[in-house]
Structure 1
Amino acid sequence: MIIHPEKSALEQGLPFPMGATWDGAGANFALFSENAEKVELCLFDPTGQHEIARHVLPVRTDYVWHGYLPDVKPGLLYGYRVHGPYAPEQGHRFNANKLLVDPYARGLFGKLINHDAHYSYNRASLAEDLSFDDRDNAPYIPKCILTDPTLPSETEPPLHTSWSDTIIYELHVVGSTRLNPGVKEKLRGTFSGLTSDAFLNHLQDLGVRAVELLPTFPFTDETHLVDKGLTNYWGYSPYTFFAPEPRYLSGLKSKIDVTGGMGEFRAMVQRFHAVGIEVILDVVYNHTGEGGHLGTTLSLRGIDNANYYRLIHNNCRHYVNDTGCGNTLDISHPRVLQMVMDSLRYWVEYGLVDGFRFDLTCSLARIDGVFHTHSGFLAAIGQDPVLAHVKLIAEPWDLGIGGYHLGGFPRRWSEWNDRYRNTVREFWRGGENTMMELAHRITGSDDIFGSRGRHPRSSINFITAHDGFTLEDLVSYGHKHNEDNKENNRDGCSENYSWNCGVEGPTDVAAINELRQRQKRNFIATLFLSQGVPMLVSGDEMGRTQKGNNNAYCQDNAVSWTDWQNISDDGLLEFVKKMIRIRSGCTAFRRSEYFTGQEIDGGPIKDITWWSPAGHEMTHDDWYIPHAKCLGFHMACPYKGVRGERLMVMMNAHHDTVPFHLPPPAYGERWHILLNTISVTEDISSKIVKAGDVFTLEGHSLVMLSSSAMATDQQIVQG
């Protein structure tokens, strides 16, 4: 179907590719809108402040409006005005007074300024969104940049780091470098700042193999935050999906970048690759920053609200809100799904990224409101050749009905495992009836993933994430303290499975501070000795605190930034490095298959054996003693040619010491103490215990022993 609404100065052009595409002689513009009556392409001068031309897209093919503008070059600034009915009760919110951002814009120029002109209705009207606002918002919205589409040439092939070798470091572009004195001031808080020598050296010293960047698409600062003097810090409110966030660019903001900022972004990725670190993007395709029915009109709402968003049946004025953010994109619509897939391919082909973590992934895989593993989104991902080699991580839930599906994604996916987080936290704070659950979690959550033919790498293990307490706060606060968010402490999760060790917040009591440090080491040790893929949050390795705020999404300040000059726990950083060395050097902690509990090499030693502190293999009754909080596991490790290697880990979450009877000689005659979280200063490498000895396991501690084949963590690395 082709419709010629009226004559235009533009040539007809093509309905593909979507967005603005420069071909060397001019540019093709294509925008999907089924319900629009007319689409105008608005051009701006290099300052972005003055509209210099307005052209009607002359042709509509299969609901894609398109036109070709000859004799233009990269750097041209543009936006759209889309005409159609303003009838919210019918799902239509067209308002041509609003300049709209192209959802396919490859770059943005200027700043999104919070202003009432972004609302299609009169906010002062008693009729709310049923009223109409005729103000022009062009002075307050970024302009889209026509970019040079040249594909990058990367001399080195992608890293393709195996899942078993992957250690993820979750970070925020701003928070990781804003206070880092080793980063040039003008680069702090930017993509370029992340690849400064100071920060890269830190990551290399740690031994991480991938960084996971919190959202980097352009995002909004919601009005309710601006009214309180706050901003959106995390960035989970995008309004376009192909451009890097301008505030993360180090270039002059008054100069148009013909790459749209992708040049700087790509240089960052290449620098990470050069030191063996992959880049994973945290992406948000489940909703936009336009909010609910009383939200702003920045892009999709004004382009074709009824098709881009899921609306409530029989009440199209309102949105399905499975995301908790006011709206939900309708990924089941072919054109919306196309936009998401085009975006993913773009960041792989042009941005060179290595994977994606999908925010609220269940909302992307719903059919008629119900989660399905054979949804169009999951099917499209599964067959796409460009995405075939990238890492895929699901946040396996949303806020809709039936929205929790941990373990429910296809085999190729990995998933954030919140049951791992909760179980490990509950065990170490001394919770009862946790040992069986803990055993499943630290062996890769086979009970969740194994029955579906999946593998340990399906589980992304984490103790903390950007959302929630930091590691320091996990051991320092029993309750959230979100008063700085100005929501009367109502926001954020109330159950954190945390323990303040006896005092709420900072204290000068030495015994409590020592216990807190030990607990942090217990958490870190558990994380890196568990099967699955570990994720560490930026700053946790140095004791970063948010002062009890477990929902710092709106704190773009010292609450969220890593303080590089006032490290609260000097020994923790070295301990984290040690644990990563141990994990990286020993394949026993990076298995591609689950433990079987079966004898190996003709017996009698099993691949894993669970031990009671009484000195025998755990029985059925041992697992279900309510007050029991101490156990151990023995691993046979026939790897790297070391046939006789044995490892023994003992964990005690009791307040008091526990006499732990070591296994008999068949499991290992002599043991070197490789790790003891009770202290990080004492030299334990020369200490040896023997089979059958009674080891005094201090309260709230984890001890790791290695057989005579491996005496130190350095030998494990070399082993």
Structure 2
Amino acid sequence: MADRLPPAAGRRPHPAGGGRLHGQRLGAAQAPRLRSAARHARPRRRDVESPRAVRLGAVWDGEGTRFAVRSRHAAAVELCLFDRPGDAAASRSLPLARSGDEQWQVYVPGVGPGQLYGFRASGPWRPADGHRFDCAKLLVDPYARAITGEPAADRSLAERGRDSAAAMPRSVVVGDAFDWQGDAPPGVPWRETVIYECHVRGMSMRHPQVPPADRGRFLGLASPPIVAHLKRLGVTTVELLPPCQIASEPALLRRGLRNYWGYNTLGYFAPHAGYASAAAGEQVVEFKRMVRALHRAGLEVLVDLVFNHTAEGGADGPTLCWRGLDNALYYRLDPADRSRYVDVSGCGNTLDASRPAVAELVLDCLRHWHRTMHVDGFRLDLATALGRGSTAAGAPFSPDAPLLVAIAEDPHLAQAKIVVEPWDLGPEGYQLGRFPRRFREWNDRFRIAARRYWRGDPGVGAELASCLAGSPEILGCDGREPRGVCYAACHDGFTLADLTAYERKHNRANGEDNRDGSDDEQSSNWGHEGPSDDPAIGAARRRARRNLLATVFLARGVPMLGHGDELGRSQGGNNNAYCQDNELSWIAWPAAPGDDLTAFVARLGELRRRRRDLLVEGELRYLAPGAAPVTGAAVPAGQDAFGVLVARGDEGLLLLLNGGAEPARFALPAGSWRWLLDTAADAAALTRRPPAIRTAGIASRCLACLALDP
């Protein structure tokens, strides 16, 4: 039965249009600070060359379907049509005709949506030259808009000469018909944005109010109880861990596990079949229904896309798509030995974004998700890899790289939000602050400074003060829109609750003898490793969580909340749960609302909503504890307690932070200061507290926020 939603009002029309590194990512603690005058310059327009003549993929015109694929070095390409997903043999095979240097195509009358297909490519097997053609391998379409599922765990995928059709999923021809019912993007400005990073499956698998048939699926994420929860928190934007079709790593399948996070892409244009009720194109329709419902609720949708590597892994990995179509065209290969991959992703291979074929794939994919699927923007994983030059020249990063400039200036993406993870694992991979100014960057310096400060590390106050100001010495600051994404926890590493309960990782469930994952989480267990019923330890942990959350929401940046952190979600100390598709990762929803931490986050969301313009535009001054309201332009090194005064006209907001072990008292600027927040007091007690006139005292390891009464 078709769902009917009320028509949207007051929003502009949507644009129309046709594994994982097993450890914490390279971050500020491991890389030197890199600065460049170019980071603030407007990049020159540099178009990506377009060597193709027709739209790639399977395009249905109402009477038949044109299949087009790219390969420069193939000798022949064959289209295989299948009647059913389980058929090992094709019902019909057709040769594709070469068109130009890189394009192959064939038009098949009478074939339309729902048709299953794949490709086979013939050519040289010369790994030393970068060529790994094997016509025994059935390949998915790089531009497939739906794929029937994941490959099976079978040796035929990696062994040369063995037919892989029985183990491979099929690509699916998909039509464009969908009733968007007047869908329009919420269009939330950056200064108003509050991001909620979440996993489609993990959000709803254990939610008692989500219909069982929708749990773990796109429709479950957009169900009324989850939408209501997000709105209560003040979230404006959901950022989905990769929703594209994935393929679990063979090593995981051998251990009885699967890739849960989704950072192992098989189909960049295809929603993951496992998040839908069926896999013959239903995943496309249900993804669109999810977006439509979230938009109706005023929530934006960002999707995490992983263009730095693919699911084919290293040289001994499976041949699923790009390797079989044209290994030398798509991947970065070692110039000294082209049988080896250059790996700046930590996952065995790296797509070569300096090549026009790859750059165009990325741009086409972004346009597809934005224009056809109506998503509002993207998070680009390990984005430094997208700005690297040719491997022959050493693959240096440049903010003026053709692909980065093309993304920033593409007119079809003008309204799309772009968030980047500004590092990869290659040489000089840490590039925070050097991406085009239109992008927003994950600020891991904020994460590290906040964690260290609130666990009590001495001498971190000055660094945290800079991060609260938006890290202007790195990211720049124009006083209008924040450029950094501020967060204390994300999918990588400990959850917020585990940051305050564990000092060591506990990853044995991943099957790697606890070798995977970071060994430096900047965490504190506050006196006991793991769960504790000690009241003092419990109180210290709860306060630490509130401190971290308040720091995120009150910073000059785009706040991001990890899914379930507002509910105290724990992974039992596992800081690399990329392969845990089970209750360890899924949110354990409470039977009824009312959790204190959830209410605290909702208060933070409301506080930020009311004061966001002041937080972004206000002049910043810093206070030191003492008998006089001494202010300065910076926090002195070694200061454990400090205040941040944010002023604009007759508005004033005062943040008082004390990461030390002793209470602190501040002399206040003139005026009557009303208490808005105190992480050492509950909300009810705070409403009874009289305004502060001359001084304000705060407890040890505490954050308070006060507003100047007019």
Scaled by the length of structure 1, the TM-score of the pair is: 0.88
Identify which range, 507-516 or 699-708, moves more after superposition.
Answer: 699-708
1:510 equivalent in alignment to 2:546: no
Q: Contact 1:542–1:567 (CA<8 Å) still a contact in 2?
A: no
Write the distance in 2 (CA, Å) between the matches of 1:454 and 1:205. 28
Specify which of 686, 689, 693 is matched with residue 687 of structure 1.
Answer: 689
Question: 1:15·1:66 contact (CA, 8 Å) conserved in 2?
Answer: no
2:155 to 109, 116, 130: 116
Compute the displacement of 1:230 (Å): 1.3
- Map 1:530-549; keep pairs closer than 5 Å: 530-549=555-574
3-state DSSP of counterpart to 1:175? helix
- Where 2:203 maps in the other structure, the secondary structure is coil
C-alpha deviation, 1:634, in angstroms: 2.1
- Post-superposition offset of 1:569: 9.6
In structure 2, what is the equivalent of residue 462 of structure 1?
A: 487
Q: Distance in 1 between matches of 2:455 and 2:221?
A: 35
Deviations 1:399-421 (A, max 9, x none): 00010000001110100000000
Query: Which residue number in structure 1 is paired with residue 106 of structure 2?
Result: 67
* Deviation for aligned residue 1:671: 2.3
CA 1:138–1:173 in structure 2 vs 1: closer, same or farther (change >3 Å)? same
Residue of structure 1 in register with 2:643 after alignment: 632
Secondary structure of 1:587's counterpart equals: helix
* Amino acid across the alignment from 1:580: G
Instruction: Write the distance in 1 (CA, Å) between the matches of 2:455 and 2:499.
Output: 10
Mapping 1:307-346, distance limit 5 Å: 307-346=329-368
Number of the residue aligned with 1:583:
608
Deviations 1:201-228 (A, max 9, x none): 1111111000000001111111111111
Asked if 1:160 corresponds to 2:187, the answer is yes
Deviation of 1:112 after TM superposition, in Å, equals 2.0
Contact 2:405–2:436 at 8 Å: present in 1 too? Answer: no
Residues 39 and 81 in structure 1, CA contact (< 8 A), matched pair in contact too:
yes
Letter in 2 for 1:155: G
Matched letter for residue 16 of structure 1 = V
Q: Please give the alpha-carbon distance, in whole angstroms, between the structure 1 residues aligned to 2:479 and 2:284.
A: 36
| Alignment map for 1:185-584 (pairs within 5 Å) | 185-249=212-276, 251-253=277-279, 256-257=280-281, 261-368=283-390, 369-450=395-476, 457-565=482-590, 570-584=595-609
Cα distance in 2 for residues equivalent to 1:269 and 1:625: 47
Per-residue CA distance 1:187-207 (angstroms, 9 max, x = gap): 111001111111111111111
Amino acid in the other structure paired with 2:55: P
1:618-647 deviations in Å (ceiling 9; x for gaps): 577994453x31111222243xxxx3x332
Task: Kindly indicate whether the alpha-carbon contact (under 8 Å) linking 2:77 and 2:120 is maintained by their aligned counterparts in 1.
Answer: yes
Picking from 70, 74, 83, the partner of 1:45 is 83
Instruction: Give the Cα–Cα distance (whole angstroms) in 2 for the partners of residues 400 and 182 of structure 1.
Output: 45
State which of 607, 612, 618 in structure 1 corresponds to 2:624: 612
CA distance in structure 1 between the aligned counterparts of 2:329 and 2:97, rounded to whole angstroms = 22
Aligned mates of 2:243, 2:546 — CA distance in 1: 31
Answer whether contact 1:671 1:688 (CA < 8 A) is retained.
no
Aligned residues: 654
Q: State the shift of 1:688 in Å.
A: 1.6
Is residue 709 of structure 2 the alignment partner of residue 698 of structure 1?
A: no
Match of 2:203 among 176, 179, 188: 176
Q: For residue 652 of structure 2, what is the amino acid of its counterpart?
A: R
Structure 1 pair 614/162, CA: closer, same or farther in 2 (3 Å)? same
- Higher relative contact order by CA 8 Å / sep ≥ 6: 1 or 2? 2
| One-letter identity of the residue aligned with 1:267 | R
Mark the CA change 1:455 to 1:499 in structure 2 (over 3 Å): closer, same or farther. Answer: farther
Cα distance in 2 for residues equivalent to 1:702 and 1:590: 16
Q: Following TM superposition, by how much is the alpha carbon of 1:31 offset from its aligned partner in structure 2, in angstroms? A: 0.9
Give the counterpart letter for 1:536 in structure 2. Answer: L
Query: Using the alignment, how far apart are the partners of 2:363 and 2:123 within structure 1?
Result: 27
Deviation at 1:683, TM superposition (A): 2.3
- CA distance in 2 between counterparts of 1:441 and 1:399 reads 24
Q: Report the alpha carbon displacement of residue 587 of structure 1 after superposing the two structures with TM.
A: 3.0
Q: Cα offset for 1:149?
A: 3.1
| Alignment partner, residue 172 of structure 2 | 145
The 1-side partners of 2:400 and 2:235 are apart by 34
**1:600 match:** none
Q: Distance in 2 between matches of 1:620 and 1:685?
A: 31
Question: Contact (CA 8 Å) 2:149, 2:245: kept in 1 or not?
Answer: no
CA distance in 1, matches of 2:168, 2:661: 58
Corresponding letter in the other structure for 2:625: P
Find the counterpart in structure 1 of residue 9 from structure 2.
none
- The verdict on how the C-alpha distance between 1:46 and 1:698 changes in structure 2, with shifts beyond 3 A counting, is same
Give 3-state SS (helix, strand or coil) of 1:176's partner.
helix
Q: Offset at 1:450? A: 1.6
Contact 1:610/1:617 (CA < 8 Å) preserved in 2? Answer: no
Change (3 A) 1:246 1:397: same
Q: Which residue of 1 aligns with 2:66?
A: 28
In structure 2, C-alpha distance between the alignment counterparts of 1:690 and 1:285, rounded to whole Å: 52
Match of 1:370, SS state, is coil
Pairwise CA distance, 1:335: 1.2
3-state SS of paired residue (1:386) = helix
Task: Provide the residue aligned with 2:653 in structure 1.
Answer: 647
| 3-state secondary structure, aligned to 2:675 | strand
How many Å separate the matches in 1 of 2:283 and 2:480? 38
Structure 1 Cα separation of the partners of residues 284 and 666 of structure 2: 59
| 1:609–1:617 Cα contact (<8 Å) kept | no
**Are the aligned partners of 1:321 and 1:328 in contact in 2 as well (CA < 8 Å)?**
yes
Amino acid across the alignment from 1:370: P
Alpha-carbon distance change, 15 to 152 in structure 1, aligned in 2, over 3 angstroms: farther
TM-score, normalised via structure 2 length = 0.89
Structure with larger Rg: 1
Cα distance in structure 2, aligned partners of 1:383 and 1:522: 39
Structure 2 gap segments, 5+ residues each? 1-51
Q: Distance in 2 between matches of 1:99 and 1:156?
A: 38
The alpha-carbon deviation at position 566 of structure 1 amounts to: 7.4
Distance in structure 1 (CA, Å) of the matches to 2:673 and 2:186: 37
Distance in 2 separating the partners of 1:621 and 1:139:
66
1:663 to 664, 668, 681: 668
Counterpart secondary structure, 2:542: helix
Deviation at 1:702, TM superposition (A): 1.1
2:33 alignment counterpart? none
Shift of 1:141: 1.1
Give the match's secondary structure for 1:381: helix
Question: How far is the alpha carbon of 1:482 from its aligned partner?
Answer: 1.2
Deviations 1:351-393 (A, max 9, x none): 0000000000000110121101111111211221110110011
Residue pair 2:208, 2:591 contacting (<8 A) in 1 also: no
Determine if contact 2:81/2:115 at 8 Å carries over to the other structure. Answer: yes
Structure 1 residues 375 and 323: alpha-carbon distance in aligned structure 2, compared to 1, 3 A threshold: same
- On the 8 A contact 1:360/1:394 being kept in 2, the answer is yes
8 A contact 2:495–2:569 mirrored in 1: yes
Q: Which SS does the other structure have where 2:412 is aligned?
A: coil
Q: What is the CA–CA distance in structure 1 between the aligned matches of 2:57 and 2:147, rounded to whole Å?
A: 13
The whole-number CA distance in structure 2 between the counterparts of 1:174 and 1:579 is 27
Structure 2: distance between partners of 1:610 and 1:567: 42
Within 2, Cα distance between the matches of 1:454 and 1:308? 41
> In structure 1, what is the Cα distance between the partners aligned to 2:146 and 2:634?
60
Letter in 2 for 1:491: D
Distance in 1, matches of 2:119 and 2:614, equals 54
